[in-house]
Structure formats: C-alpha cells, structure tokens
Amino acid sequence: MADLKSGYGPRLKRFNVQFTRKPGLTVGYGRDVPRGGKYKTCNEKVEDNLELAYAVSVHKAQGSEFADTFVIIPSSATRPVSTELIYTALTRANRHCTLLIQAGVNSLLDARRRENAQTPQINSYLFDNLHVAKELLANRRGWYEEGKIHEALSGDMLRSKSEVIIANLLHEREIPFLYEQPLFAPDGTLRLPDFAITSRGRTFYWEHLGLLDQGRYADDWKRKKAWYDHWFPGQLLTTEEGPHLSKSAEEIVTQITTDAATAA
C-alpha cells in the first residue's frame, strides 16, 4: 500500500483490488499505480475504472430494465414475499439476474402459496369469491413466519413439540399426512389444518388446540370449528394441550383406522 496522506483523515494514494477467483490478477487505482513491477506516476481516477451500481426497491424499479441485476430475497421470517413481488424483481434484468436468498429457499416456497399472493387480496368485485380467511390475513405475518423448528420422524418441520408427538404417531402407524396444507372451502375461504390425514380413502383434518386458555385464541377457534362443521362435517379431529396428549392422540388414531377399516 502507498503512504497515508493526512489532512481530513487518512487518505490512500493508491490501492489494488484482488479477485478471489482470479489469483494473481489485481487492478490498481490511484496516482501511483505499479506497471510491470515499476512504479510510474499516472493520473488515474477511480471513477474511470469502476462502473457504478445502484440499489433500489423492487417497486421503484418496476417498469425499468437493466442489463444486470442482483435481487436480494429476505428470509420469510422477516416478512413473507409474494409471487408478484418476486416476478417483478426477476424480470428487471434483460441480460443477467443474480438471485441472493437469505437463509434458504423457504422464502421462494412460501411465495408459491396461493394465500400469500397479493392479487386475490385486492378489494374488487373480480376477486370477491376468491377471498381468503379474514383471520388469516389479519395475522398474516404470524401465520407464515419461520417458526417450524421441530423435526418429526417423518422429516417434516413442525411448530411445536406437541405437534411432533402427533406427527410421530401418524408416521409410526404409516398414516400419510400433510402439515399446514391449505384447505379451501367451496366459497373460496381457507384454513390451514395442522394435519390433513388420509386413512383407507377417508380424509380427516386434525387441529391441535394449544392455547384454549387464551380468550382470543378460544374465540378464533369457535369460528374455525363452525367453519369445519359447515364445510367438512364429520372430518374434524381435535386434541388439546395437556399431560395426556399422547394417550388422546393414540385413541384418535386407533378410532379412525378402525372406522375406516369397517367402512371399507
């Protein structure tokens, strides 16, 4: 490095940039840049050798195109991103786009979910019959934040240890299940049952009630139960938080497998 020049603080008279993937290649900037092993004075401005780049939001870039873009997708734990937003970001480049995803691909997977899209939430008559649950939209961040931190024997990532107990029991009994799979009613409303399970051709929706002692949760559950009773009568299974969860879950699994075998 060159000598430091004092004044309004340390100043570099020249510096070199090295590239990790190109060993031995350096680019020099400043007045005194080495050429062929010898120092020759040259007036070289940084801006003459660098191409400026700009950081703008996806919304601000909408309608514009750039040769090369870098798109940064934050973790869905920070805030869920929609399909429309990602599409707009990726289509700003007309030559090359580099996609940088924080933490993992969960953000892209969440963006594919229909209920996470922005278009159906537009307050217009066109989408009147495609609305999603108001409770779900009101608590949208809480519903889709990255809270799946407990792994079941099936490999599924769940939100609570109690749900792991249920998932492990279903896995051991070889009963297929889907976790938080969107369930749409004929009117376009939806819920995310903790488990959607199938036994001998019959489908059930299992909700584990972990916070019934909280007033708001209990009120929300009353509305949710009424929704299940109306659109999917006889298909709802429930367990409650408590010391006897394992026994209760095992009784439910035994009952539905017995009923399904009898019906078959």
Q: Kindly list the structural domains of the chain, giving each domain's residue range(s) and its CATH number in brackets, ordered by start.
A: 4-46 (no CATH), 53-127 (3.40.50.300), 147-263 (3.40.960)
Closest CA to 137 of 154, 113, 159, 161: 113
Give the residue from 263, 257, 227, 221 showing the smallest Cα distance to 241. 221
User: What confidence tens digit (pLDDT) does each residue in 40-94 have?
Assistant: 444 455 555 556 667 888 888 888 888 888 888 887 656 678 888 888 888 999 8
- Please work out, in degrees rounded to the nearest 5, the angle formed at the alpha carbon of residue 191 by the alpha carbons of 185 and 193: 115
| 84 half-sphere exposure, CB direction, 13 A CA radius | 11
Q: Could you report the per-residue pLDDT of 212-235, keeping only the tens digit for each?
A: 888 888 999 999 999 999 999 999
DSSP letters for the chain: ---EE-SSS-EESEEEEEETTEEEEEEEEESEEEETTEEEE----GGGT--------HHHHTT--EEEEEEEE--TTT----HHHHHHHHTTEEEEEEEEESSSTHHHHHHTSGGG-SGGGS-SGGGGGGPPPHHHHHTHHHHHSS---EE-TTS-EES-HHHHHHHHHHHHTT--EEES--EE-TTS-EE--SEEEEETTEEEEEEEE--TTSHHHHHHHHHHHHHHHHHSTT-EEEEESSTTHHHHHHHHHHHHHHHHHHH-
Highest mean pLDDT among 9-13, 102-106, 228-232: 228-232
- In this prediction, residue 237 has a pLDDT band, given cuts at 50, 70 and 90, of very high
| Cα angle, residue 56 at apex, residues 50 and 62 outer, rounded to 5° | 120
**pLDDT score of 24 more than 80:** no
pLDDT at 227: 95
pLDDT value at 145 more than 50: no
pLDDT at 240 over 90: yes
Question: pTM of the full predicted structure?
Answer: 0.49
Residue 146 near residue 78, CB atoms below 8 Å = no
The amino acid at residue 201 is G
Please report, rounded to a whole number, the percentage of residues in the chain having pLDDT higher than 70.
64
